[in-house]
Amino acid sequence: MRKVLSVASECAPLVKTGGLADVAGALPSALAAEGWHMRTLLPGYPAVMKALKRVTEVWHDADLMGGPARVLAGKTRGLDMLVLDAPHLFDRPGSIYLGPDGLDWPDNPERFAALSRVAAEIAVDGAAGWKPEVLHLHDWQAALVPVYLRALGATGEVATLLTVHNIAFHGLAPAEKLEALNLPEWGFTHEGFEYYGKINALKAGLVYADMLSTVSPTYARELMRPQFGMGLDGVLRARAADLVGILNGIDETVWNPETDKEIAGYRTPKRKAANTLALAEEFDLPPGDGPLAVVVSRLTEQKGLDLLLEALPAYCGRGGRLALLGSGDKALETAWLEAARDYPNVGVRIGYDEALSHRMIGGGDAIVIPSRFEPCGLTQLYGLRYGTVPVVALTGGLADTVINANDAALSAGVATGIQFYPVTAQELTGAMTRLCDLFAQRKVWSRMQRKAMKQHVGWGASAPRYAALYEKIGSVE
C-alpha cells in the first residue's frame, strides 16, 4: 500500500475538541479501502499516552524545544499511531490548547512547532524504516512542516497537503521566536510566513505546501473573499489553482441510528418518537405540539447562537421546544442559562457530553446550526443520518450538504432541511417559524425526514478524492 502520514493536534476517539479530531480519526480506515496506509502523528497528551499499549520507540531527541522527546509507535482504537512523547510540552492537565486561565498556553508556538519539526524529520529519515510518500497536514498546528522540510533540504522528497479546517486560527507567534522555533530567516518575509510583523504558522503552510484543501467546496470559494478569509484571502487567491474543497464525512459506524447504544434504535422516522419523549424528559421540557429542536455546539460568535436567542420568543410562541448542549464564551453561557429560566420550553446543559449529544440528535425533531461561517460542519450530517432535520445558515459546508425546503424542492420530494440567508436574527426567526409550519404538515415532514436519512454522509465519496490528491502530488514508487 502507498504510505501517508497524517499530522494533527487531535484525533478522535483519543482526544477531541472539534471536527478536526473526527476527520483525523475517520480518514485512516476510509483511505485504507483506497490503497493508502495512513499513520497518524499526534502529541502525547495524557489521554493519548494512557491509551497506548505495547509501543516501540522509533525516534528520539535529547533537546526538542527545551526538553527530551521521543516518538512511540503503537496501535490503539483501530488507529496506527506515532505519538510525540515530550512531557515538557504535552504532559499537562485540562485543555490541550488552553491553560487554567482559559487562555492559550504561552508555549503553544513551541509545542506545535515541535510537532511539525518531528513530522518533517520522520519524512526525511523515516521511523524504524517507515517513510511516508505524502504528509497530510491539518490546520496551523501542523502547517510549519513544509518550512522545516525546506530547511532540511528535503524539498521534493515528500509531498505535502495542508487541509484548512478553520481559517480563524492562525498560530501567531512574535518574531523574536524565530530562533527558538528553529525557523529560517529567509521565510520571514511578506511572501513567506511573516504576517504584520509576526510569525503566522498557517500562512507558512498556505504558501509552502504542495497542495491545499479545505472541508467543503463552498468554503473553498468563501476563503478567497475578504469576508471569510480572515486576512489570508489574498494568499489563497494567489494559490487558487492549488486549492480544492472536499466535504467531510462522518463515521457511520459511530453515528448509526439503528445501532446507537444511547438511543432506542430505529430505521425510520416513525420510530424516533420514543427518543423524543425521553429527551424532553431529560431536559425537563413540557409536552407540546411544536417541534423539539436541538443545538450541540461550541458557544462562540462564529456559531451564531446569539442570533438564536433573539429568535426564541417567536419560536417558543409557536409551541417550539429547544434543548441546547454546549460551552465556550462565558457571556453566551450565561445568556443561555437565563433563557432556560425565562422560557419553560428551553433546556440548557453547559459542557461537553458525547453520550448526551447522541441522545439529543437521536431524539430531536430538528437540529439548528445558525453559523456565521462554517467550514463544513458535522452536526448537520449527524442530523441527516438520524432524520433530525437541519436548520442551517447558507454558508460553507452547510450550503453543500442540506437541500432547502423551498416549494420546488418540496414538490420534487428532495428537501432535507431549511436554509436561511443572510445570517441575521430576522432571517433565523423566519427559518424557525418555517420549521414550525413544516412540522405541522405531518406528511411533508415525514417525507423530509426519510429523504434526509437517505443522504450519503459517510466517506464513500470523499475518501477517493483525497486518495486522488495524494496520487497527484505523491512520489511514484
Q: What is the tens place of the pLDDT at every residue in 347-375? A: 999 998 999 999 999 999 999 999 999 99
Distance (Å, whole) CA 436 – CA 439:
5
- pLDDT at position 474 is 85
Residue 161 identity (one-letter amino acid): L
In this predicted model, what pLDDT tens digit does every residue of 298-335 receive, in sequence order?
999 999 999 999 999 999 999 999 999 999 999 999 99
- Pick one of 3.30.300.350, 3.90.550.10, 3.40.50.2000, 3.30.1520.10 as the CATH number of 2-249+460-473: 3.40.50.2000
Rounded mean pLDDT of 188-203? 98
Would you say how long the chain is, in residues?
477
Tell me the pLDDT band of 197, cut-offs 50, 70 and 90.
Answer: very high
- pLDDT at position 349 is 98
Distance (Å, whole) CA 224 – CA 190:
18
Rounded mean pLDDT of 53-67? 96
Note the CATH number of domain 269-453.
3.40.50.2000
Rounded mean pLDDT of 207-230? 97
In this predicted model, what pLDDT tens digit does every residue of 405-418 receive, in sequence order?
999 999 999 999 99
- pLDDT at position 29 is 94
- pLDDT at position 53 is 86
CB 41 within 8 A of CB 8: yes
Distance (Å, whole) CA 297 – CA 328:
9
Distance (Å, whole) CA 466 – CA 449:
30
Using the structure block, give the residue that is written with the C-alpha cell 505519538.
83
Rounded mean pLDDT of 12-21? 92
If one compares 37 and 17, the residue with the highest pLDDT of the two is 37
Ligand-binding annotation for 472, yes or no, is no
- pLDDT at position 156 is 86
CATH 3.40.50.2000 region(s) of the chain? Answer: 2-249+460-473, 269-453
3-state percent breakdown (helix, strand, coil) of the chain, nearest 5: 40, 20, 35
In this predicted model, what pLDDT tens digit does every residue of 92-145 receive, in sequence order?
998 999 999 889 999 999 999 999 999 999 999 999 999 999 999 999 999 999
- pLDDT at position 475 is 53
- pLDDT at position 19 is 87
Does residue 477 surpass a pLDDT of 60?
no
Distance (Å, whole) CA 388 – CA 40:
32
What percent of the chain is predicted at pLDDT more than 70?
A: 99
Does residue 445 surpass a pLDDT of 50?
yes
Does residue 476 surpass a pLDDT of 50?
no
- pLDDT at position 162 is 98
Does residue 338 surpass a pLDDT of 50?
yes
